[in-house]
Structure 1
Amino acid sequence: MGVCSTCPHAHPALKAFMCGSLSGTCSTLLFQPLDLLKTRLQTLQTGVASRVGMVTVFLNVVRTEKLLGLWKGISPSFVRTIPGVGIYFSTYFTLKQHFVQEKSPGAMEAMLLGGGARTVAGVIMLPVTVIKTRFECGRYSYGSVAGALQSVCRTEGPGALFSGLWATLLRDVPFSGIYVMFYSQTRAALPTEIGMSVSAPLANFSCGVLAGVLASLITQPADVVKTHVQVNPQLRTLQAITYIYMEHGLQGFFRGAVPRLLRRTMMAAMAWTVYEQMMTRVGLKS
């Protein structure tokens, strides 16, 4: 029995939150290593970055930090993703019910729904996102998420927990908007018999993969800027852009593109597939 099905009288938005949180838990646990590799690639020193690829970083992490080192940062990832994805999907569901209601959203409506939901979730969860990025980069030795939050507030001030806000929104809001637009439109184009068959989860997942690839490529430069700002809080967004260009050139804005594309694509596809199936099981139209 699913988590959501144990609460038949819960508010629909709460059901959406619970379904989203469950989908976020599954996808985070599976794809955390890709996020760590992406962060390490983006924060390599000048000179090293030009000759090191994802496989090299992977082998170095396993050699120096053991296999479990690939899941470094999983604690802040869970703290961020479990409520964060829940907030995202419940906000998406609420906005859709209020503005679109029962009809399928058009391309622009889907983009606005996805972007609006991500804005709410991104701002609320940004402090944990900052801590997660620092855990993954390997430059900080925090013992726990709570300890990291206290340390940042004490040594850098609470404002540091919101470093990279604009870069994060410039990355996540377009990603979510573009993703939901492509996902909803490709899913709506599927023949009705596929959507009603046992192969529906696979079809939804395939739509999610296509949407994830396109959204990831378009928003990759903003992700690199966001990482630099959160690892080096003294940098502002424009300074980070200038630094990346001067040190690495245009290709610097696509460091870590492969692991991020794999992770974001697979994670988003899985999250939406699980969410769709859970919402169907509790009798709600997602």
Structure 2
Amino acid sequence: MLQSSGAFSNGWAIDTTAPVDLNNSNDNYHPVFKAFLAGSFSGTFSTILFQPLDLVKTRLQNSSQNVVAATVNRIQPGMITIFANIVRQEHIIGLWRGMVPSVARCVPGVGLYFSSLHWLKSKLGKENLGPMEAVSLGVIARTMSGVALIPITVIKTRYESGVYKYNSLSGALRDIYRAEGVRGLVCGLGPTLARDAPFSGLYLMFYTQTKQSIPKEWLQSSSTASVVHFSCGVLAGIAASLATNPADVLKTHMQLYPDKFPNAFSAAIYIQQTYGVQGYFKGAVPRMLRRTLMAAMAWTVFEQITRSIGLK
């Protein structure tokens, strides 16, 4: 395998270079803490920048609104139509609806993901990870962060949908717990993990295969390395996003309408009967754009930060 390869989970990179010695007494900060900070910083800007794409994706997947629109207009609203409607009804600022829970989820989520991954790599104690080892660690790390932040994921989806009118993040947590209990705070966990955890492994596979087809001198050149990493990240992100989009659609339905869709099976039946197979790819375009651009950007930023703070 190449000396440096990567994968993204929820738009984030998995760095598979050798783990740093956790017992290094010459460093004032623990490497796991450094990985947490680097991952968090790498996700902040891209999360804010690409929030409108995530908002449009959630609106496209909102079955209730789309069924009404289809009944009136006999066509399903597209990405541009949803975008225009948001600007017209909620103004430009409306495109960033749900940004607070997005940042609250993505920023610590990325930090937890990277720090968990770094800790797992150090425990494995190997200089070079094989493809299957990298995939396994990526899935485990993503599962750990995904479970920890599932309540924020639920709130984020509901904020973006336009169906729920929460006033604050803490207020949303309180309202959901009072109305639905703990079950409401973890609804859609299965599809969320089925979406995010495989994304890491799929991305790694697509990323490494694409990278191996690139001439080595391009990867070793300081002038072209960043462009190559970014391009490989985009291509891998597109493929991995399309493969995991059905799980994302199921997750959205379960988190918006937990009473109607108590499990993934009921949501799948509804989508199949209402939209057919194409229903599983609702919101695929904005999600693909957001995930791939965030992934490629996060990879570049994370690489620069980890080098500057001595994590590599």
1:279 matched to which residue of 2?
Answer: 306
Whole-angstrom distance in 1 between the partners of 2:218 and 2:296: 21
Name which of structure 1's ranges 194-203 and 79-88 shifts more when overlaid on structure 2.
194-203
2:276 matched to which residue of 1?
Answer: 249
Alignment-mate amino acid for residue 20 of structure 1? G
2:91 matched to which residue of 1?
Answer: 66
Whole-angstrom distance in 2 between the partners of 1:130 and 1:266: 23
Matched, 1:14 2:38: no
Distance of aligned partners of 1:100 and 1:195 in 2 relative to their CA distance in 1, 3 Å threshold: farther
For 2:66, what is the secondary structure of its paired residue?
coil
TM-score computed with the length of structure 2 as normaliser = 0.84
| Cα offsets for 1:108-151 (capped at 9, x unmatched) | 22221221111011100100000000000000000011100000
For 1:202, what is the secondary structure of its paired residue?
helix
Matched, 1:207 2:226: no
Alignment-mate amino acid for residue 96 of structure 1? K
Matched, 1:175 2:199: yes
Matched, 1:25 2:44: yes
Q: How many pairs align?
A: 277
How far is the alpha carbon of 1:283 from its aligned partner? 2.1
Whole-angstrom distance in 2 between the partners of 1:92 and 1:281: 19
Gaps of 5+ in 1: 1-7
Whole-angstrom distance in 1 between the partners of 2:125 and 2:184: 37
Matched, 1:85 2:110: yes
Alignment-mate amino acid for residue 10 of structure 1? Y
Whole-angstrom distance in 2 between the partners of 1:88 and 1:195: 27
- 35, 43, 46: which is aligned to 2:67? 46
| Contact map agreement 1:201 1:277 (CA 8 A) in 2 | no
| Contact map agreement 2:40 2:111 (CA 8 A) in 1 | yes
Q: Name the one with the larger helix percent.
A: 1
Q: Which runs of 4+ in 1 moved over 6 A?
A: none
1:140 matched to which residue of 2?
Answer: 164
2:12 matched to which residue of 1?
Answer: none
Alignment-mate amino acid for residue 205 of structure 2? M
How far is the alpha carbon of 1:193 from its aligned partner? 5.5
Q: Percent identity?
A: 53
Name which of structure 1's ranges 22-31 and 192-201 shifts more when overlaid on structure 2.
192-201
For 1:109, what is the secondary structure of its paired residue?
helix
Name which of structure 1's ranges 154-163 and 107-116 shifts more when overlaid on structure 2.
107-116
Distance of aligned partners of 1:193 and 1:57 in 2 relative to their CA distance in 1, 3 Å threshold: closer
Distance of aligned partners of 1:47 and 1:152 in 2 relative to their CA distance in 1, 3 Å threshold: closer
Whole-angstrom distance in 2 between the partners of 1:193 and 1:199: 6
Alignment-mate amino acid for residue 81 of structure 1? C
- 55, 72, 76: which is aligned to 1:36? 55
Whole-angstrom distance in 2 between the partners of 1:107 and 1:186: 14
How far is the alpha carbon of 1:248 from its aligned partner? 1.0
Alignment-mate amino acid for residue 160 of structure 1? G
| Contact map agreement 2:53 2:290 (CA 8 A) in 1 | yes
**Residue pairs, 1:98-117, within 5 angstroms:** 98-99=123-124, 101-103=126-128, 105-117=129-141
Whole-angstrom distance in 1 between the partners of 2:249 and 2:166: 22
| Contact map agreement 1:107 1:185 (CA 8 A) in 2 | no
Whole-angstrom distance in 2 between the partners of 1:196 and 1:92: 28
2:120 matched to which residue of 1?
Answer: 95
1:239 matched to which residue of 2?
Answer: 266
How far is the alpha carbon of 1:100 from its aligned partner? 6.0
Alignment-mate amino acid for residue 36 of structure 2? F
Gaps of 5+ in 2: 1-26
Whole-angstrom distance in 1 between the partners of 2:218 and 2:310: 19
| Contact map agreement 2:66 2:77 (CA 8 A) in 1 | no
For 1:51, what is the secondary structure of its paired residue?
coil
Alignment-mate amino acid for residue 66 of structure 2? Q
For 1:46, what is the secondary structure of its paired residue?
helix
Matched, 1:131 2:131: no
How far is the alpha carbon of 1:172 from its aligned partner? 0.6
Alignment-mate amino acid for residue 19 of structure 1? A
TM-score computed with the length of structure 1 as normaliser = 0.92
1:3 matched to which residue of 2?
Answer: none
- 243, 263, 271: which is aligned to 1:218? 243
